[in-house]
Amino acid sequence: MLFKFFSDLLHLHGMSDKNPRSVASALKVNPYFVNEYLDAARNYPMKKVSYIIGVLRETDVKSKGVGANAIPQGDLLKELLVKILG
């Protein structure tokens, strides 16, 4: 769910027309939620969104046991949140 949100946000950064109607159509989201995406685009620049997508992929791999043996799920989540919000 987080990956979809941030990948949609990356798509939004690449759009030239940020009209709410065209954003809703391009992202295939309900027009009601377009303002949340536009607010998030202001708070997370494209470089940060790219970084977050990388962190999400890294955490997904770690959660499957690759490169991180026996790390509790709670610790992975805390690490993910610190990297996203930090």
Q: DSSP for 68-83? A: -TT--HHHHHHHHHHH
Per-residue pLDDT of the chain (86 residues; tens, 9 = 90+): 999 999 999 999 999 988 999 999 999 999 999 999 999 999 999 999 999 999 999 999 998 888 777 788 899 999 999 999 98
d(CA 55, CA 10): 14
- Is 8 exposed, middle or buried, given 0-12, 13-18 or 19+ CB atoms closer than 10 A? buried
What pLDDT was estimated at residue 43? 94
pLDDT given for residue 71 in this prediction? 86
